[in-house]
Chain A
Amino acid sequence: MYNPVAFSKPIIDMRRFLRLLVAGCAMLAASLAHAQLTIEITGAGANRLPIAIADFQGESAVGQDISAVVRADLERSGLFRLVPGAVTLSESAPIAYDDWKGRGADALVVGSVLPGAGGRFEVRFRLYDVQKGTALGGLVYTMAAAQARTTGHRIADFVYEKLLGEKGVFSTRIAYVVKSGARYELQIADADGVNAQTALASREPIISPAWSPDGTRLAYVSFEAKKPVVYVHSLASGKRHVVANFKGSNSAPAWSPDGRRLAVVLTKDGGSQIYMMNADGSGVTRIASSAGIDTEPFFSPDGQYLYFTSDRGGSPQIYRMPVAGGSAQRVTFEGGYNVSPRISPDGKTLAYVSRNGGRFQVTIMDLATRQTQILTDSAKDESPSWAPNGRMILYASEIGGRGVLAAVSSDGRVKQRLSVQAADVREPAWGPFIQ
């Protein structure tokens, strides 16, 4: 990377110097963010699409190689295999299709970063189908240098969708809780674990974060008042308000798909029971009444049903009931402990945690056939959360007595692990698509 010849060219020297400073600045920032998530890939898909991502012409000017972000995203998905060969190709470069075919690439991405007005940059890229010898499209983004990673994620989303026919989730964010000593932090990071920011720091536990469908707010349960209270927190402003602080416990918030209502669990009338309220906490109504525990409500994507955990049959099992009211149907029957129901974005698959011989494992059920599949080989899985494209399930697990996050694809093949040095990470929630 260091090129002594550049010293004879003062302008390049200056640019390089600034780039180093930017990099140094980023490193300093990273060392201050003590709780950076790191991701390991522990399993990949069976058929990975071979793709070459050329270095973008001029990308060194923004201090972060956009092409490297695109490569890391696509590789981490477990669905692409990177074709090696470092080469810089501009967005308008002619494509030597046979050459790329010879290297084994099915697809190729090229791009350019050009200085634009007001210190901003223009990022242009194109995606090619190498096998067919055709262009699949491209985009132009304008950005500040600090948004190079975000831009890389958008490009990766474009490539993913063009080639696989489903939306990518590289631009989405995840929320999770980090426990470090007696300190709890509700953090938000990019889907690749980078750029972690703390939304709430507390000396008391925080659990059950749930994203509003528009991705601007989180509902969660905080114990700062010596009891569980439900808050809704606007991430950009840091403004938060109590939406449920009734006598007893208040917990398990779930957003309706239209973002206007919350299902919560309250004990104000005796026992843990499910209530509906407006997102500002007004208009509380009880929607069901059972003798035992009803908790962990989760809306079906059409907003018509609530899936929930209940011990009404003697052991915790998953049930569903119409939001409008009506009787509940039992959904899980195998085993004596099935909890934490989460429906896939397409409404077809139920992810939950089942206990199998003393191990708690992420399990899925095809709701049409009722067929179930245990997706993990771990022992202390909790809190599954679907990626908004339904491809991966993010969940909390434990390795060596320490809380980590892990993700598994709904076919069980792709596996990732996300951990924070010397801290417990738990309670993950995958945010919605960026609008």
Chain B
Amino acid sequence: MLKKLLAVAGIVVLVAGCGTTPGPEQPGAAVEDRGAKPITAPEVKTVTSDQVGEGVLPPELKDPKNILSKRSVYFDFDQFTVKEEFRPLVEAHARFLASHPKLKILIQGNTDERGSREYNLALGQKRADAVRRMMTLLGAREDQIESVSLGEEKPRNPGHDEAAWAENRRADILYVGE
């Protein structure tokens, strides 16, 4: 009988104890003789971030036969200038922006994983800025382009060798609304 009672009481304690999220700890009265202090544990509340929504854009941006569907400019190690082979791609997007004045793009610069995350963020910015400068020289307006960096945070290839790093040293073009 006692055992049963204890078991029931126990379940209630268990449910009550585990089911409640820990609230802020109440500081209690200090019982002092040599500087008694109430113990409190700081609380941390969990937040979930929101994601950015999507919109509708001209279909040629997604047409695999159109150069505009190509969005990545790759860079050599420790290099921040747009290579000749990517010039047609950058030109096509610059002309498209010039002929679609309401469209805007985000250029995201990326780096490989080696070294400091914040320094890599700055290096990725240099790559994005190089693409942005070329586009504005080719007719896109400054206010149509935002160049930002993702540093080493969003590798296209998660590997740890030169082939992976080469894929990750790049700038990506995103149309706002995508």
A residues sitting closer than 8 Å to B (CB atoms) are: 10, 13-14, 17-18, 21-22, 24-25, 28-29, 116-118, 120, 122, 137-144, 146-147, 150-151, 154, 173, 188, 195, 197-205, 207-208, 215-216, 222-228, 233, 235-238, 240, 247-249, 251-252, 265, 267, 270-272, 293, 295-296, 309, 316, 337, 339-340, 353, 355, 360, 382-383, 401, 427, 434
Contact = CB atoms under 8 A, between A and B. Distances in A.
Nearest to B22: A146
Nearest to A352: B116
Interface stretch (B64-72, B85-93, B148-156): B148-156
B43 A236 contact: yes
B55 interface: no
B46 A200 contact: yes
A204 B49 contact: yes
B24 to A, nearest CB: 7
A2 to B, nearest CB: 16
Given A139-B37, A360-B114, A226 B44 contact: no
Contacts of B150: 205, 223, 227-228
Contacts of A251: 118, 121
A371 to B, nearest CB: 23
A187 B141 CA distance: 41
A383 B24 contact: no
B106 to A, nearest CB: 6
Nearest to B30: A142
Contacts of B40: 147, 150
10 contacts: A24-B14, A25-B14, A201-B49, A202-B48, A205-B154, A227-B149, A238-B44, A238-B46, A272-B121, A309-B116
B115 A339 contact: yes
Contacts of B146: 227, 247-248
B117 A122 contact: no
Contacts of A309: 116, 118-119
A212 to B, nearest CB: 13
B44 A197 contact: yes
B58 interface: no
A205 B42 CA distance: 25
B149 A215 contact: no
Interface stretch (B95-103, B122-130, B163-171): B122-130
A236 B153 contact: no
| 3 A-B pairs with the lowest CB-CB distances in the bound complex, closest first | A238-B45, A227-B148, A197-B44
A215 B44 CA distance: 12
Contact of A143 (B17, B22, B28, B121): B28
Contacts of A226: 52, 106, 108, 148, 174
Given A226-B148, A265-B122, A296-B118, 9 more contacts: A122-B31, A142-B30, A142-B38, A143-B38, A147-B25, A151-B39, A293-B119, A293-B125, A337-B115
A327 B158 CA distance: 40
B162 interface: no
Contacts of B125: 248-249, 267, 271-272, 293
Nearest to A28: B18
Contact of A208 (B37, B114, B118, B160): B118
B32 interface: yes
Contact of A249 (B10, B33, B36, B121): B121
